[in-house]
């Protein structure tokens, strides 16, 4: 008779992690100034039930399990015949603090601490109240276009299962523009590359698929047909895209206004123009667009 093994895959620190010491009590034996700490949030633990040894797991099946939504207890028998089955996940905000060693030479490069102060929007999640240390003082050796000022907190967004995914153009929020429905704001933004001179291509981008990734890929496929001044107007068109999206979805508008004056950062390691890029020094133009929109909505009394 086959024996079932239950394998637990932990993607966040254990729930019984020791309490964090007071920030004021941490000190580095070599530091002459107050140490700087990197604060990172870990929020998901996924449980997978398996009939086979982990060394024999199929990567494709695992990736599929990780992207599934929460499976209710009553529906677990649906996956009973699968060799690798996701059973449930545990979501609980935790903060991990490690000392961020200052830059001491031209050969050593340390990125700015990535501090997020958001609270989770997932149902049933208890938000953890953490006292976060302020960002480090300005260092001329580490100038960054997206470095937060000492008086502003930073809110990171990008990944599908993290808070504020609605701030990205890939979120499932349709947008109406000139009487036509676009599946996502990404569809509308990509169509702007062709609307004036190639309306047939713009319509193709709108209707090619419900998936924003397909709209993005199709726009790249027709790269030679993109309007020649696109690099001069792309930020303006992003502003326009976001305005239509957030004014048509009251929940997103409220979520954006609730961020106060925090710096909004698209935490993408793949895009150094709209996000911060792999080196954390990108232009973060999407975050800046959202901040401009937030100010505009607030100024108009929304």
The pLDDT profile of the chain, 302 residues, written as one tens digit per residue, is 444 444 444 444 444 444 444 444 444 444 455 555 555 555 555 666 777 777 677 766 666 666 654 444 444 444 445 665 655 555 455 444 544 444 433 333 333 344 444 444 444 433 333 334 444 444 433 334 555 455 789 999 999 999 999 999 999 999 999 999 999 999 999 999 999 999 999 999 999 999 999 999 999 999 999 999 999 999 999 999 999 999 999 999 999 999 999 999 999 999 999 999 999 999 999 999 999 999 999 987 65
Two tokens at 76?
């677990």
pLDDT on residue 63? 67
User: What strands, in cross-sheet order, belong to the sheet with 5-9?
Assistant: 5-9, 36-50, 84-100
**Alpha-carbon span 266 to 145, nearest angstrom:** 13
Look at residue 236 and give its three-state secondary structure.
helix
**Residues 6 or more apart whose Cβ sits within 8 Å of residue 83:** 50, 51, 52, 58, 61
**Residues 6 or more apart whose Cβ sits within 8 Å of residue 18:** none
Q: Going by CATH, does the domain composed of 154-300 fall within 1.10.357.40?
A: yes
Two tokens at 29?
């034996």
**Rounded to the nearest 5 degrees, what angle is found at the Cα of 279, between the Cα atoms of 145 and 230?**
60
In Å, how far are 31, 175, 183, 200, 242 from 208, measured between CA atoms?
57, 15, 10, 12, 21
Burial of 203 (0-12, 13-18, 19+ CB in 10 A): middle
Residue 226 phi/psi, 5-degree rounding, is -65, 145
Two tokens at 300?
């108009």
The answer to whether 241 and 152 have CB atoms below 8 angstroms apart is: no
**Alpha-carbon span 202 to 199, nearest angstrom:** 5
Query: Domain ranges in the chain?
Result: 154-300
Residue 187 phi/psi, 5-degree rounding, is -60, -45
Look at residue 187 and give its three-state secondary structure.
helix
Closest CA to 241 of 193, 195, 185: 185
**Alpha-carbon span 32 to 58, nearest angstrom:** 51
């Amino acid at each position: 008779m086959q024996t079932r093994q239950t394998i637990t895959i932990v993607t966040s620190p254990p729930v019984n992690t020791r309490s964090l010491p007071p920030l004021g009590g941490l000190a580095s034996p070599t530091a002459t100034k107050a140490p700087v700490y990197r604060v990172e949030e870990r929020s998901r633990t996924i449980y997978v039930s398996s009939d086979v040894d982990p060394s024999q797991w199929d990567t494709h099946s695992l990736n599929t399990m990780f992207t599934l939504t929460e499976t209710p207890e009553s529906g677990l028998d649906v996956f009973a015949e699968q060799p690798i089955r996701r059973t449930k996940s545990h979501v609980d905000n935790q903060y991990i603090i490690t000392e961020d060693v200052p830059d001491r030479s031209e050969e050593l490069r340390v990125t700015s601490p990535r501090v997020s102060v958001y609270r989770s929007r997932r149902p049933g999640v208890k938000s953890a109240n953490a006292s976060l240390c302020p960002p480090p003082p300005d260092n001329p050796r580490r100038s960054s276009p997206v470095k937060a000022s000492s008086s502003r907190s930073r809110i990171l967004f990008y990944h599908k299962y993290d808070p504020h995914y609605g701030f990205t153009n890939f979120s499932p929020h349709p947008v109406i523009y000139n009487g036509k429905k676009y599946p996502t704001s990404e569809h509308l933004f990509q169509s702007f590359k062709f609307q004036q001179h190639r309306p047939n291509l713009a319509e193709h981008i709108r209707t090619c698929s419900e998936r924003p990734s397909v709209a993005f890929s199709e726009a790249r496929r027709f790269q030679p047909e993109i309007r020649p001044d696109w690099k001069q107007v792309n930020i303006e068109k992003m502003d326009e895209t976001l305005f239509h999206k957030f004014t048509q979805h009251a929940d997103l508008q409220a979520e954006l206004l609730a961020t106060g004056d925090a710096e909004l950062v698209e935490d993408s390691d793949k895009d150094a123009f709209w996000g911060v890029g792999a080196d954390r020094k990108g232009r973060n133009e999407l975050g800046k667009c959202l901040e401009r929109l937030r100010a505009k909505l607030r100024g108009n009394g929304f």
